[in-house]
Structure 1
């Protein structure tokens, strides 16, 4: 469920017409619903009711400080994968003991930043990283709480570019070597083993891969405890998918996911962490764009929009599907026709959809890309010297620009020309 619905033939974001926001902000822009963000967070939080837990929002999906503060105020922790994300979380008011630091390439500087600023845990992904973290923590006179990310060799049955739990993927320690790696961790100064971490991929649309991975984690927990390790926390990652289309096939609900967690690892008495991103933010955001031209080609017609691949790269990168709907609802029974929906960037890959059936549209009409709240704004760029597009947050009948569109002067003046040129 989301809060982007037609009322009297006009698309609304909660209680505000999208066209009204477009008139004030200009297109293209991202638009988020506070109500949807909070609803989706609460679904996860409630799904784990009855067991100690923390829902850590995966910031890589959407990292605007306004979104982070909204979720943190509701009780969310944060999952970060860089020093910059850590700084964003802190700037949004998230305390260090609610921040989990993930990622395979943490640098010594990033480790130092988190140890000095406060951290819930590091999810360590290799022996070399573990040794560097030990050295940094010892130098600072601090103890770094760690989990070790294990790779359970489970096929998440998702897109190859977002699968992370197979033996050929770059993430984590092979689970067969986990006991040796934990023994190393226990021997290193400055480290305190507190748990196990696992994450098998993103946009999972069935529960079986989670069940297979979590059963392996449960077995490993018993083995590590027998080896003398104190395993009190299980970080089970994220990855539950969202419906990008309006078909009848829907991914599992957070309630079903929570029941699976309780059935597979609930008997271990561990605190549970999960790190959803896409399911919290994906359907909580849309990208609004305007038709520049309708162009007739050889055997096909094109809708040329002012939004482009640098604004929303998922279709170009992942062959991702987004529902694209007109902001003014078409009349019932109106004839539709196929269009290639493209942006103005000088790349053939700047194509959002091919031969997509749409109602008749004309220049200046507005369209909305549904399910664009995750991996949209965070992956955008200034390719072709196109400004980063605004982000806007709605709450009820009010809205605020939470990231403004930079001017061309602001963009260009970031460059410096050497004196010798």
Structure 2
């Protein structure tokens, strides 16, 4: 994958989205043309933006024994997985379904890391048969079950234990995963005993150690703190006679959502990894294989959701811009009170009066909003683009209110191709029995 240069004058948080001749473009394709061709709501992804984001990680890890495993949960669309597989990425999966998606696009099984706290015996068995590279194990009970399943298959399961370092990622509590009160991983204080247990089980082979502290992290300090705690453990585990072949530092690097009221921007991936690798070298572990699991930072700013304005509804306390995209399409605002930049597809005429709106969807929930207090000059029938919608939007989309999921389009330069057909209502109850 060769990343192109960003478009001229890109919008904040969207390096390949820009206005040209009054029209909002993704790379060299007008979003208005795609809305006419495919309808709305519509997700549009920039392949150049994904390549641009991946290149930063590749620069930061150049010359190292490193594996970049894309976190499939961020966006599991097959076209995006194929793009990343072709670029040499492995995959971090958290379910049997994600395993099948990765295999379907030709992923090398040995470059797949199976994470997640609730793996079933069936999922373990399938992953062992496929030959995944490693299981990130999150509890003592899982160690026992995985060993038993592996023995039943005549296999030995390569494992890393996910350690909970009790480090505050300083992010939204719903996406913080490295504190003692979180459900993930094994407590730092119990990790050595867990490794001794893993090394004693006949169906397991200790391969590495894993740590993931959260998502949408915007500063290096939590990573450095977590790294130090993990390296302390590596030293203690190896002193007990258990070799650690790779160190998995997870993902979680945030993206710029283009908010004007949030001055904190995440560091570029190459700058972050320069600092982390310097710490790794200083601690004497620079020769270890490094595994990382970025998700949002690879695809988040590559995606746009296009939506049509249905109605303008003035109110005594609020004005509402009602659009055809909803919380089932874009769940992040409802779940996390998240900010997404919203722009019209046609640039407003100079001097056009803007009105402050809440941009809301048609779902029957007061939590169905996409943006609060946005200054927009729009009318019914016009279209808006919700930016930075490449991660945790379509992947978390639902059919609430019996709403079919959106279509998806992948753009590369001046070419655009449909990569997911829009669902029809009949698709939603095809498998039901009345």
Mapping for residues 83-102 of structure 1, pairs under 5 Å:
83-102=96-115
Which residue among 338, 343, 351 is the counterpart of 2:356? 338
**Residues 1:308 and 2:321 aligned together:** no
Aligned to 2:53: 40
Residue aligning to 1:327: 345
Equivalence map 1:67-86=2 (5 Å): 67-86=80-99
Tell me the TM-score normalized by structure 1. Answer: 0.97
- Compute the TM-score of the two structures, normalised by the length of structure 2: 0.94
1:256 shift after superposition: 1.8
Alignment of 1:9-408 (within 5 A): 9-247=22-260, 249-266=264-281, 267-268=284-285, 269-358=287-376, 360-408=377-425
**In 1, are the aligned partners of 2:72 and 2:91 still within 8 Å (CA)?**
yes
Aligned-residue offset at 1:300: 2.5
Deviation at 1:246, TM superposition (A): 4.7
Q: Structure 1 CA distance, aligned partners of 2:353 and 2:322?
A: 20
Residues of 2 paired with 1:318 and 1:80: CA distance? Answer: 23
Counterpart Cα distance in 1 of 2:343 and 2:267: 25
Tell me the SS of whatever aligns to 1:384. Answer: coil
Partner Cα distance (2:275, 2:202) in 1? 36
Deviation of 1:333 (Å): 4.8
- Partner SS for 1:186: helix
Unaligned runs of 5+ in 2: 1-13
- Residue pair 1:95, 1:118 contacting (<8 A) in 2 also: no
Q: How far did residue 340 of structure 1 move?
A: 1.3
Alignment RMSD, CA only?
A: 1.1
Uncovered stretches (5+) of structure 1, i.e. residues with no partner: none
Assess if the C-alpha contact under 8 Å between 1:218 and 1:264 holds in 2. no
* Number of aligned residue pairs: 416
Deviation at residue 313 of structure 1 after TM alignment: 0.6
Q: Take 1:372 and 1:139, find their aligned partners in 2: how far apart are those partners?
A: 43
The 2-side partners of 1:66 and 1:94 are apart by 13
Q: 1:51 offset after TM fit, Å? A: 1.3
Q: Secondary structure at the match of 2:304?
A: strand
Per-residue CA deviation, residues 257-301 of structure 1 (Å, 9 max, x unaligned), is 111221222331210011010010100001000000111122321
For residues 185 and 318 of structure 2, the distance between their equivalents in structure 1, rounded to whole angstroms, comes to 47
Cα distance in 1 between the residues matched to 2:237 and 2:410: 45
Secondary structure at 1:352 match in 2: strand
Partner of 2:423: helix, strand, or coil? coil
Q: Secondary structure at the match of 2:338?
A: coil
- Residue 5 of structure 2 is matched in structure 1 by none
Contact kept, 8 Å, 1:283 with 1:372, in 2: the verdict is yes
Distance in 1 between residues matched to 2:108 and 2:195, nearest whole Å: 28
